[in-house]
Amino acid sequence: DAGVTQSPTHLIKTRGQQVTLRCSPKSGHDTVSWYQQALGQGPQFIFQYYEEEERQRGNFPDRFSGHQFPNYSSELNVNALLLGDSALYLCASSLVGSDIQYFGAGTRLSVL
């Protein structure tokens, strides 16, 4: 049973560029959440997708956007990258109504 998979594992971008990160949920899961984890900090909730719609959003600017596809996979897009966007981006999946989120290994984004 495949767990949550994320791609790519590492990414290097320059300021002002745009980036797309991808996530495939655990088999049978229909809800995907995205988190940003800065070095030495706990993950921070960005947003969650269910039924291809954004259900809830954390305190992140509109430069952060997402999408969920009919097969429940999801993308996180970040526009106009800033140095401060450098972080580990974690995707988590769950079943709607369940409290337990299962995480992928993340995408390490470096903005130069």
In angstroms, the CA 65 to CA 60 distance is: 9
Q: Based on the shown chain and the rule CB under 8 A, indicate whether residue 96 belongs to the binding site for other proteins.
A: yes
Q: Specify the stretch interacting with other proteins by CB under 8 A; choose among 11-19, 68-76, 78-86, 104-112.
A: 104-112
Residues 56-85 binding other proteins (CB under 8 A) are 56, 58
Q: Based on the shown chain and the rule CB under 8 A, indicate whether residue 13 belongs to the binding site for other proteins.
A: no
Question: What residues make contact with other proteins under the rule CB under 8 A?
Answer: 31, 33, 35, 40-45, 47-48, 50, 55-56, 58, 88, 90, 92, 94, 96-106, 108
